[in-house]
Amino acid sequence: MNRHWTQDEIRWMRANVGRLDLQSASRALGIPLVEVEKMAGELQAESAASVRKPPATHREAARELSHAHKVFEKGMEHFHKREMEPAARCFSEVLELHPDEHELVDRARTYLSVARNGKQDREKALRDPAEIYHAAVFEKNRGNCLRALELVHSVNGHGDPDGRLAYLAACCLALNGRPAEAVERLRAAIEASAQNRIQARLEADLASLRSEPHFEALVGRG
């Protein structure tokens, strides 16, 4: 017959079973070792059942990744509206449900910290060039290229060793109908990293530059 455990005893086991060996736990509780072993097994099974299972198929993995990005983008929408509480809930969900998405989790953790601290000036939160880049990409993807350019320009040319900020500026300028400026920013991006030349050849955001006289010479042929 199984022993009836009180809630206080169960709580004590949850808090201490990982710190003490089962014999010590048995002595501390005054409960026979065999019963402590049974309860430890039940708690371990309970813990294992609560652990998030990895996706079983590529389709499930893709669905989870898509969901993670949607939740993060929803959090960013709240964040830019200075709705810090719902923003924090979204970023927390990303951390809890999608811990394997490391880049996304790092960004969510940064914005969650800001949201929880209740800072109202989001620009003060975006001092790191990497975070400014992610915020600018978010604005471009929602069609706000002018705001994305403002964010990129706030870096003042610093902290862009791989040229990704310059490349993003080129995309925004091209989408905004400013081809000459876009080519110059693309030139800076390619000077920073040859990888940007390869990416630019097939970049949909730069499609309007294909008729520019310097574009083909700048990116070469694919």
Rounded Cα distance, 11 and 3, in Å: 16
Q: How far apart are the first and last CA of the chain?
A: 75
Cβ–Cβ contacts within 10 Å for residue 75, how many? 25
Its sign, for the CA torsion 73, 74, 76, 77, is: positive
Q: What is the pLDDT along the chain (222 residues), one digit of tens a residue?
A: 567 888 878 878 877 766 667 777 787 778 888 888 888 877 776 665 555 556 567 787 778 788 888 899 998 888 877 788 888 888 888 887 777 777 788 888 888 877 776 654 444 455 678 778 888 888 888 888 888 898 888 887 677 889 999 999 999 999 999 999 999 999 999 999 999 999 998 899 999 998 887 888 888 765
In this predicted structure, what is the pLDDT of residue 47? Answer: 61
C-beta of residue 95 within 8 angstroms of C-beta of residue 62: no
Predicted pLDDT of residue 107: 83
Residue pair 139/151 in contact by the 8 Å Cβ criterion = yes
User: Which letter, b or e, does each residue of 163-180 get, where b requires 16 or more Cβ atoms within 10 Å of its Cβ?
Assistant: bbbbbbbbbbbbbeebbe
pTM: 0.51
User: What sign has the CA pseudo-torsion 7, 12, 17, 20?
Assistant: negative
**189/169 Cα distance (integer angstroms):** 9
158 neighbors 128 (Cβ within 8 angstroms) = no
